[in-house]
Amino acid sequence: MRLFEVLSVLRIRRPELGFGSIRYWLNVVSPRLSSLDSRMPRTFVKELKDGDNVNQIFLLADKQLRANRNANLYLLATLRDRTGVISGLMWNVAEDSVQHISAGDYVRVRGKVQVFQGGLQMIVVQMDSAPESEVDPEEFLVKPQANVGPLLTRLKELMDSLESAPLKLLAECILEDPSLVDDLCAAPAGVKAHHAYQGGLIEHIVGMAEVADRISELYPSLNRDLLLLGVLLHDLGKIRELCWDPTLSYTDEGQLLGHMNIAIEILNEKLLIARSRPGGQQILPEDVLRLKHMILSHHGTLDFGSPRVPMTPEAIALHLIDNLDAKLHEFTRTIADDPNTQSPWTPYSPRIERRLFKGYPRK
- 3.40.50.2300, 3.20.20.70, 2.40.50.140, 1.10.1740.10: CATH of 45-136: 2.40.50.140
Summarize pLDDT for 6-44 with one digit per residue, the tens.
444 444 445 555 545 545 444 544 444 444 444 567 889
Summarize pLDDT for 284-302 with one digit per residue, the tens.
999 999 999 999 999 999 9
Contact 52, 113 (CB under 8 A): yes
Angle CA 219–223–226, to nearest 5 = 135
DSSP state string for 266-325: HHHHHHHHHHTSTTGGGS-HHHHHHHHHHHHHTT-SGGGT-SS---SHHHHHHHHHHHHH
Contact 345, 355 (CB under 8 A): yes
Please give the share of the chain, as a percent, with pLDDT higher than 90: 58
Confirm whether 45-136 and 148-335 share one CATH topology.
no
Higher-confidence residue of 32 and 263: namely 263
Q: How far is CA 109 from CA 62, 74, 214, in A?
A: 14, 15, 48
Summarize pLDDT for 300-358 with one digit per residue, the tens.
999 988 999 999 999 999 999 999 999 999 999 888 888 777 889 988 887 888 999 99
In the chain, where the domains are located = 45-136, 148-335
Check whether 109 has a pLDDT greater than 90: yes
Taking residues 148-166, report their average pLDDT: 96
Taking residues 244-251, report their average pLDDT: 80
pTM for the full predicted model: 0.75
Of the candidates 220, 224, 190, 215, the one whose C-alpha atom is nearest the C-alpha of residue 321 is 215
Q: What is the spatial distance between Cα 278 and Cα 267, in angstroms, rounded to a whole number?
A: 18
Check whether 78 has a pLDDT greater than 70: yes
DSSP state string for 41-70: PP--GGG--TT-EEEEEEEEEEEEEEE-TT
Q: How far is CA 339 from CA 46, 63, 330, in A?
A: 4, 21, 16
Q: Mean of the per-residue pLDDT values for the chain?
A: 87
Q: Which of 10-14, 116-120, 224-228 has the lowest mean pLDDT?
A: 10-14
- State how beta strands 84-90 and 106-116 pair: unpaired
> Domain 148-335 belongs to what architecture?
Orthogonal Bundle (1.10)
Higher-confidence residue of 24 and 159: namely 159
Which H or E element spans position 157? Answer: helix 148-160
Q: What is the spatial distance between Cα 61 and Cα 84, in angstroms, rounded to a whole number?
A: 11
